[in-house]
Amino acid sequence: MDAATARMRLESVLAELDRSIAVLRGDPSVRDRSGPDGGSVLTETDRDRALLEAAVQHRRAVVEAMARLDGGRYGLCVDCAATVPEGRLQARPEAERCVPCQSRRERRR
């Protein structure tokens, strides 16, 4: 993926994440959060908290990918420096690891 395309995709993902984070944080300019009854508030709050944390982590990964792009390291695995496959970057432009390194990391968890 060329740098201009990668930057455009990363900026698009970042903008969408910023909108999602604003909604999950209850920004009244983005979404009216009135309406749920008392019993559903806790469930909705827990769900929103989990979604917010996931969105914040995803945003962090996108910002880090943009830094790698600026530093000329985009598309290289952060663990072994192998080229991250084009298809992986198409699916997840913020991907920081090649498939073997990502698999090893997930098995260690």
Q: What is the mean pLDDT of residues 57-78?
A: 97
**Which three-class secondary structure state does DSSP give residue 51?**
helix
Q: How far is CA 8 from the centre of its chain?
A: 15
According to the CATH classification, is domain 3-108 in 1.10.40.30?
Answer: no
pTM over 0.85: no
Instruction: Give the tens place of pLDDT for each residue, 24-65.
Output: 888 777 654 455 554 555 577 778 888 999 999 999 999 999
Are 21 and 55 in contact by the 8 Å Cβ rule? The answer is: yes
How buried is residue 48: exposed, middle or buried, by Cβ count under 10 Å (0-12/13-18/19+)? middle
Q: Where are the domains of the chain?
A: 3-108
